[in-house]
Structure 1
């Protein structure tokens, strides 16, 4: 009997060990089962530049690159007309205020883009040349659109001071737009119908600046402030509108970006001045460049750029080459870093619950 008792005690201990082992292993398996599956990449909006169109093969090659880096990315190529040719025409002629409304409405109709749960799901955005400032304007004006990362390449966020584009021999759309702009960009008709004129910005830059930063930064001409249909509005340049807080909602929406990446071409001869892609001001008389952080736009935080900078969301990048000479390696690096799946809310610090 003593032997039987010892046998039972030994086996009881053995069975307890098995039970403990089983519980541990089951717990491990259960933990594996409970793990959250990988998040899909966020949808990507792409807005092309002047003279381009949404169905251009080169543009879709860029979309393919984004999908190669982040498989299953849904790419939405922004367009303003059903056909490629009409979409190209809309890059030269049209009213930007109306065009932004059209794009906002088209995004609402795309279930793969529009936010059915407005407090969580977002999209990423990539803008080339004028498409860069248009995407920023869209973020500011399109209620409910949530963008995580905005990447602009060769944009003109501070406008253009001259027309650097050379039109092709048979490019009558381009020649027509340029001719109208050179006549008088600051009229109600031109500002309502010629797209590049709506981010054309000239300065009172003939005076030498003094030691004060505000004196050194030239002011835009009165005609620009009075008639600008797009840029003066989305950059909050009209003092009366700032005093009436008409741009506060634009600012609130822009500051929700997690990253605002601005890429400038080092040898850009099309965007004049090229530093516009970084919101810099250039006095074309003296050649002085006033960087963003030295400008009133930033110091008084008219549209939220200072707030973005304070949370390390502003990124200044450059790319070798002339305008739109794209480097696949640089693009790949940008896509890997700023696009793809969304991080958990606890990681990205998202706490907002209000729909803007």
Structure 2
């Protein structure tokens, strides 16, 4: 009788174990968000809104919207004036210390946050980034500063003047974020020599095999281009295209650039493996509907 009870209890415990194992819900991958120029981590009309709709559609997801600074004002100011390399290092430290990210995470960058997160995956493979979604990121840089978002018009006017004076002077390169991804197609040599950020992550001076290996470790690299973008000059940069060198009128797609043909970043190999995803959305810079986001972006986060 005792042995029967023991056997029955053992079977009950086994069933309970198997039942709890079978019903255990899979935990969604965390999401890291980096905002764009003049924005902040938690603006309820931008990053706060994105965080909210992602959490609504993916219950239980951990969303980290990066704050670069100790408060929202510093976060916004640093999007203009904090050295990008220092920002990337800071973010790498934040991600490495977050226990919720140790198993890997997806990343989504908006506007300049797109190329900044690309620098994160190239430079900091731990914790591992699984998918990178760049929403309007300027991966080949910009050669124009037509307008600014939000209430930062006075800053934009000042930045335009600084860029006109000399984007590649040491002081402006070190202190002005937008100068660090300013790509002058009329003077490629100066850009390659003096760009502190973009020329480095795009392997313009030398080939860092670690950068290439780390970027190629992504499962998917999704690039969103706004087909009526009046903010980014040229919009082709959002799909890694750019002006043909030596002039500023004709643009060429990624597969005609030296970055692709020489495969300095591994983009050609990634493309052939189906890892690059090019999405177009009708509208101006960062203008998209909730429905478009759910249909086109959400599948890469689930």
Give the TM-score, by structure 2 length.
0.88
How many Å separate the matches in 2 of 1:170 and 1:251? 36
| Structure 1 segment 106-125 matched on structure 2, within 5 A | 106-113=94-101, 115=102, 121-125=103-107
How many Å separate the matches in 2 of 1:164 and 1:74? 36
Matched with 2:184 is 202
Q: Contact between 1:156 and 1:277, CA under 8 Å: does it hold in 2?
A: yes
How many Å separate the matches in 2 of 1:102 and 1:166? 25
How many Å separate the matches in 2 of 1:43 and 1:298? 31
Pairing partner for 1:231 from 175, 183, 198: 198
Cα shift at 1:99: 1.0
Change (3 A) 1:51 1:166: closer
> RMSD value over aligned CA atoms?
2.2
Matched with 1:172 is 154
How many Å separate the matches in 2 of 1:125 and 1:271? 21
Cα shift at 1:288: 2.9
2:209 maps to 1:270? no
Matched with 1:42 is 29
Pairing partner for 1:291 from 242, 253, 271: 253
Give the length in aligned residue pairs: 287
Change (3 A) 1:146 1:179: same
Change (3 A) 1:129 1:168: closer
Matched with 1:71 is 59
Q: Contact between 1:93 and 1:193, CA under 8 Å: does it hold in 2?
A: yes
Pairing partner for 2:111 from 104, 129, 135: 129
How many Å separate the matches in 2 of 1:228 and 1:339? 33
Q: Contact between 1:127 and 1:152, CA under 8 Å: does it hold in 2?
A: yes
Q: Contact between 2:185 and 2:247, CA under 8 Å: does it hold in 1?
A: no
Matched with 1:348 is none
Task: Find the structure with the greater CA-based Rg.
Answer: 1
Cα shift at 1:32: 6.0
Give the TM-score, by structure 1 length.
0.76
Change (3 A) 1:34 1:111: closer
Cα shift at 1:335: 3.7
2:78 maps to 1:90? yes
Gaps of 5+ in 2: 1-13
> How big is each residue's C-alpha offset from its partner over 1:82-137, in whole Å with a ceiling of 9 and x where there is no partner?
11011000000011111111111112222212x2xxxxx21000111000001101
Q: Contact between 1:139 and 1:145, CA under 8 Å: does it hold in 2?
A: no
How many Å separate the matches in 1 of 2:111 and 2:174? 20
Pairing partner for 1:307 from 269, 272, 276: 269
Q: Contact between 1:93 and 1:177, CA under 8 Å: does it hold in 2?
A: no
| SS at 2:100 equivalent | coil
Cα shift at 1:173: 3.0
How many Å separate the matches in 2 of 1:170 and 1:161? 20
Cα shift at 1:170: 6.5
Q: For structure 1, which segment, 163-172 or 90-99, has the greater mean C-alpha deviation from structure 2 after superposition? A: 163-172
Q: For structure 1, which segment, 103-112 or 47-56, has the greater mean C-alpha deviation from structure 2 after superposition? A: 103-112
